[in-house]
Structure 1
Amino acid sequence: MIRGFLTRRAEWPARIPDPDAPPPLSLLWREAGALLRAISGRIRPMPPEPNPDSDHPPVMVLPGFLSGDWATKALRADLRRAGFRCYAWGLGFNRGATADIVDRIDTRVQWIIDRTGHAPALVGWSLGGIYAREYAKHHPDKVARVVTLGSPFSGSRRANRAWRLYHLVARHPVDNPPIDFHPAPRPSMPTFALWSKHDGVIAADSARGLPHESDRQVEVDCGHMGFAYAPNSVAAIVKALTEEVATTTGGQIREA
């Protein structure tokens, strides 16, 4: 009997992974403590801008869903200490995609170009990374490179723990925004995707993407909230902003 059961079980079809599967709930609970540490980063003083003759391109940091420049202050401070002229996005609270989001980002990017004389690199956290990739495709001459931090640009747009809340706040489905988004195709400039298997909000496969969807897929050992302040994440961002990379081939590196 047991042998017959095992034989029949071996013949069962393999379980097909759910493309909409979010990260495990156990990882989501870990994000609560990380959120408190991220919020505490807003009280850190912002260092002055580095020398304008720095070899590094200027950097604009785009916040995630339901956050704003306060949430990226610690990261911007760390990037300034690393020698980057780093700027907030300056567009207020990120409540979700709007029909004019690319134009609003363009106004800010143009301000940075007028101020520094150089196209900035865009560092986008979560939904901010979706904006960064999409803007870079619309205005490739105005972006030096793109770095996404736990951004769900690949696969199903529901492979995360935030899509229901997004529907409620943004007042449109996550997979039917008021703008023609195509986040998966890689922008033409160097593009880095930072992802984590410990991310409690965004599914790892969604934030990592396929090899041809970015130039580098960089694994970082942190939670979703840690992308903007964890030392190993900051180090990976700095490396992504400075590494020379050929954009004609995909690659994979790991930072832990």
Structure 2
Amino acid sequence: MTLPPKPARAPNRRPALSLLASEPARATLEAWQALLHWRHTPAQVGAGHTVVLFPGLGTDGLTLWPLRRHLERAGFRALDWGQGLNTGPRGDVDAWLDQLADSLHERVAPAREVSLVGWSLGGFYARELAKRWHDRVHHVITIGTPFNGSADDTNVGWLFRLLNGRRAPDEAALRERLAEPPPVPTISLYSRRDGVVAWKACTHARRWPLARDIEVQASHMGMGWAPEVLHRVTGVLACRRGAAE
């Protein structure tokens, strides 16, 4: 009797453990590169434009301080998200996002137009808030955000469960929704050297009129200060709405 073949298993897109293990060393090297880059004053392209930065899972605004300070030096009004440690959404996702949007209204005032920049998990917040604020968001930039994947495409699903005591949400309907970009210019910065999330999960599965994917050379941990990331973020934000870099 011949047994039926086992169903094919979906390929594991999770980054190699060797990449994950080298993350701290590579991020440290990128920090030294950032210090050298710091000697050069960036071009004044911000014109006071307001930018809100969202940190990654298990981190707070201090992690993105180098990026925030770089944007300030370039003339932007760069703001931390103001929620402290990012432990992920609690309870109903939509209700949690509504509360986050309400808390940010006062922080971004009196700006009429803002841009949202999110690293890793923070990129999900930037994309979803832009769907609520599509009439006032200039750009959305995500940095190493696996919006086109699931917890199985990362090496930090265990961290989410440690912080929240539950599995990361992976319902098919929610995943499909998160993969759709907001109706504003949206840029995803991804790195093939990322040891935390699968780089393919950080790219759009199909073409969208206002969405672009841009590859950078950086570790996941060092994306908040890697010089190429700083340059890309500043360049995108300096563009007028709807213009490509």
Aligned-pair CA distance for 1:57: 2.5
Structure 1 residue 110 displacement after superposition: 1.1
Larger deviation: 78-87 or 237-246? 237-246
Structure 2 CA distance for partners of 1:197 and 1:39, relative to 1, 3 Å: closer
Instruction: Tell whether 2:60 aligns with 1:64.
Output: no
Q: CA deviation at 1:77?
A: 0.3
2:223 aligned with 1:223: no
Give, in angstroms, the shift of residue 243 of structure 1: 2.9
CA RMSD of aligned residues (A): 3.0
Structure 2 match to 1:107: 102
Cα 1:17–1:162, aligned 2, differ >3 Å: closer, same or farther? same
Shift of 1:197: 0.2
Shift of 1:227: 1.2
Q: What is the CA-CA distance between 1:17 and the residue it aligns to?
A: 5.7
Tell me the secondary structure at the aligned position of residue 63 of structure 2. helix
SS in structure 2 opposite 1:145? Answer: strand
Judged with a 3 Å threshold, the aligned counterparts in structure 2 of structure 1 residues 187 and 88 are, in CA distance, closer, same or farther, namely same
Residues 138-163 of structure 1: CA distance to partner in whole angstroms, max 9, x if unpaired?
23224222100000100334201011
1:5-154 paired onto structure 2 within 5 Å? 18=11, 20-35=12-27, 55=47, 57-98=49-90, 99=92, 100-115=95-110, 117-154=111-148
Tell me how far 1:240 sits from its aligned partner.
1.8
- The superposition leaves residues 113-149 of structure 1 with CA deviations (integer Å, 9 ceiling, x where unpaired) of 423x322100000000011111111232242221000
Aligned length: 222
Q: Normalization by structure 1: what TM-score?
A: 0.76
CA distance in 2, matches of 1:92, 1:113: 17
**Equivalent residue letter for 1:110:** H
Please list every run of 5 or more consecutive structure 1 residues that lacks an aligned counterpart in the other structure. 1-14, 42-50
SS at match of 2:24: helix
Please, what TM-score do these two structures have when normalized by structure 2?
0.79
2:180 to 169, 179, 185: 185
Question: What code does the residue aligned with 1:240 have?
Answer: V
Secondary structure, in 3 states, of the residue corresponding to 1:227?
coil
Structure with greater contact order relative to length (CA < 8 Å, sep ≥ 6): 2
Q: Report if the CA contact (8 A) 1:195-1:218 is conserved.
A: yes
Structure 2 counterpart of 1:131, one-letter code: Y
Shift in CA distance, 94/39, structure 1 to aligned 2, threshold 3 Å: farther
- Matching of residues 144-183 of structure 1 within 5 Å: 144-176=138-170, 182-183=177-178
SS in structure 1 at match of 2:187? strand
What amino acid does structure 2 have at the position aligned with 1:236? R
Deviation of 1:216 (Å): 1.2
Task: Please tell me whether the aligned partners of residues 64 and 125 of structure 1 are also in contact (alpha carbons under 8 angstroms).
Answer: yes
Cα contact 1:211–1:217 (8 A) shared by 2: no
